[in-house]
Amino acid sequence: MTANETATKAAKLTGVKGMNDVLPPDSAGVEWLEAEVRALMARYAYRNIRTPIVERTPLFTRGLGEVTDIVEKEMYTFEDRLNGDSLTLRPECTAGVVRSVVEHSLLYDGGKRFYYMGPMFRHERPQRGRYRQFDQIGAEALGFGGAEVDAELILLAVALWRELGLNDVRLEINSLGQPEERLQHRQALIAHLEIHADLLDDDARRRLHSNPLRILDTKNPVMQGLVDAAPRLLDFLGEASLAHFNALKTILDANGVAYTVNPRLVRGMDYYNLTVFEFVTDRLGSQGTVCAGGRYDYLVEQLGGKPAPAVGWALGVDRVLALVREQGGAEVVVPLDAYAVVAQTSALPVVLLTLQTLRNAGVSVQMHASAGDSMGSMKSQFKRADASGAHYALIFGDDEVAQYRVTIKSLRDGTGTQTSQPLADIAVWAPTLQSRT
């Protein structure tokens, strides 16, 4: 290439940092996970809800809490150029689901169970297991106050780990009690932290009076000792909160679900109360939380609805799939029955008609496509057929097409067996392309 040609070549465009393409074969893993989830949700009577990716900004500032990582520094917020509205790419989906439930009065005839899947957006520092666009799958049950629904959601997640072949996910639970209990704990906590104010980092100092509970969630090792010695919220719970927590534990015990009570487990969003939980693994380094959730009994009311209790969880698709891979989970292979090899472009009308019939009959076929003018040598086409992973090559050579036939060559059994079949009898031989020996 001459200097001139180089200069006129268009500059390469790249994707946005932290927002990744999911390419084959990895995309097949995502489809597989989604299919497993859909099947499972149906068995638990959770229905799909699809809310927009963009919501009005106040939904999140009001819903998640002003003093949270997400609202303080992670939201993609922009102005609608046409009317000046402040809009935000959803950083999570619970707020959107609640907005939708309130907007459409979905709880008028009783509680509802929903699940969703889709991309979320947070302006975080990209690293393994932490991206700026990432897929979440979530389940939400609204209008139910009993601990049995907390348990149902946890059992649903446990069932999903089983379906996916994951056995290295452990469950941590905690209770955040009710607002008035948290208030008392909060005072004790602030008092404790103030005594050791010199040990607090900047984030913690800023949150000392606005959101001290979140300080307990710190990842700063210097503060671990201080946080370990802090008053425990569990010790401030009243009778009703403890009863709810115990009811959950009783059901989990009866179902053989192992868990540990982690009194320091708090969640990133302000809307949680009573039950909170996380599914954690040690196999993904520091990004070990694969699924997290809890109760949010006040969010519906806070977003303008009639008071209604609710509980839910969300899992990170990337982290769950990374764990599947880490545990040697079956690589998802999309099967291909046949690859069509075509000698002359003049045969293409007959070839496409034949392939259409095969596909209607359920056979998966990849058609060899030309560079534009010729189909290319048969040799190069057979190479492609081999590389495609197809079980059979369908050979549309000159002789075959002249006789209105096709040669079927086995590519995978090592014998290279060939049979010749009339196109007129396609209904008879099509099913054999799907049978594996």
Cβ 162 to ligand ATP, closest distance in Å? 18
Cβ 247 to ligand ATP, closest distance in Å? 24
Cβ proximity to ligand ATP, 280 vs 390, nearer residue = 280
Cβ 119 to ligand ATP, closest distance in Å? 10
Per CB under 6 A, contacts with ligand ATP among 44-73 are none
Q: Which of 113, 185, 319, 391 binds ligand ATP (CB under 6 A)?
A: 319
Cβ proximity to ligand ATP, 40 vs 351, nearer residue = 40
Cβ 74 to ligand ATP, closest distance in Å? 8
Under rule CB under 6 A, residue 119 binds ligand ATP? no
Cβ proximity to ligand ATP, 93 vs 303, nearer residue = 93
Under rule CB under 6 A, residue 297 binds ligand ATP? no
**Selected range binding ligand ATP among 104-112, 182-190, 282-290, 417-425, rule: CB under 6 A:** 282-290
Q: Do 321 and 33 meet the contact criterion of CB atoms below 8 Å apart? A: yes
Cβ 205 to ligand ATP, closest distance in Å? 21
Q: What's the Rg (C-alpha) of the chain?
A: 28
Which residues, in sequence order, are bridge partners of residue 410?
Answer: 392
User: Residue 208: CB partners within 8 Å, gap ≥ 6?
Assistant: 190, 193, 194, 197, 200, 215
3-state secondary structure the chain: CCHHHHHHCCCCCCCCCCCCCCCCCHHHHHHHHHHHHHHHHHHCCCEECCCCCEEEHHHHHHHHCCCCHHHHHHCCEEECCCCCCEEEECCCCHHHHHHHHHHCCCCCCCCEEEEEEEEEECCCCCECCECCEEEEEEEEEECCCCHHHHHHHHHHHHHHHHHHCCCCCEEEEEECCCHHHHHHHHHHHHHHHHHCHHHCCHHHHHHCCCCHHHHCCCCCHHHHHHHHCCCCHHHHCCHHHHHHHHHHHHHHHHCCCCCEECCCCCCCCCCCEEEEEEEECCCCCCCCEEEEEEECCCHHHHCCCCCCCEEEEEEEHHHHHHHHHHCCCCCCCCCCCEEEEECCHHHHHHHHHHHHHHHHCCCCEEECCCCCCCCCCHHHHHHHHHHCCCCEEEEECHHHHHCCEEEEEECCCCCCCEEEEEHHHHHHHHHHHHCCC
**Tokens linked to 243:** 């009863």
Q: Do 153 and 313 meet the contact criterion of CB atoms below 8 Å apart? A: yes
Cβ proximity to ligand ATP, 129 vs 212, nearer residue = 129
Q: Which of 139, 234, 314, 341 binds ligand ATP (CB under 6 A)?
A: 314
Cβ proximity to ligand ATP, 220 vs 434, nearer residue = 220
Under rule CB under 6 A, residue 283 binds ligand ATP? no
Cβ 334 to ligand ATP, closest distance in Å? 25
Distance CA 339, CA 391 (A): 8
Under rule CB under 6 A, residue 270 binds ligand ATP? no
Cβ proximity to ligand ATP, 71 vs 303, nearer residue = 71
Cβ proximity to ligand ATP, 20 vs 434, nearer residue = 20
Per CB under 6 A, contacts with ligand ATP among 71-110 are 92
Under rule CB under 6 A, residue 268 binds ligand ATP? yes
Cβ 134 to ligand ATP, closest distance in Å? 3
Cβ proximity to ligand ATP, 289 vs 364, nearer residue = 289
Cβ 322 to ligand ATP, closest distance in Å? 10
Cβ 206 to ligand ATP, closest distance in Å? 18
Distance CA 91, CA 95 (A): 9
Distance CA 167, CA 65 (A): 35
Cβ proximity to ligand ATP, 204 vs 351, nearer residue = 204
Cβ 91 to ligand ATP, closest distance in Å? 8
Under rule CB under 6 A, residue 218 binds ligand ATP? no
Residue type, 238: G
**Tokens linked to 38:** 């859909």
**Selected range binding ligand ATP among 290-298, 332-340, 359-367, 429-437, rule: CB under 6 A:** 290-298
Per CB under 6 A, contacts with ligand ATP among 120-179 are 122, 124, 129-131, 134, 136
Cβ 287 to ligand ATP, closest distance in Å? 6
**Tokens linked to 30:** 């995502």
Q: Which of 77, 100, 184, 289 binds ligand ATP (CB under 6 A)?
A: 289
Cβ 175 to ligand ATP, closest distance in Å? 17
Q: Which of 292, 351, 385, 423 binds ligand ATP (CB under 6 A)?
A: 292
Binding residues (CB under 6 A) for ligand ATP: these are 92, 122, 124, 129-131, 134, 136, 268, 287, 289-292, 314-316, 318-319
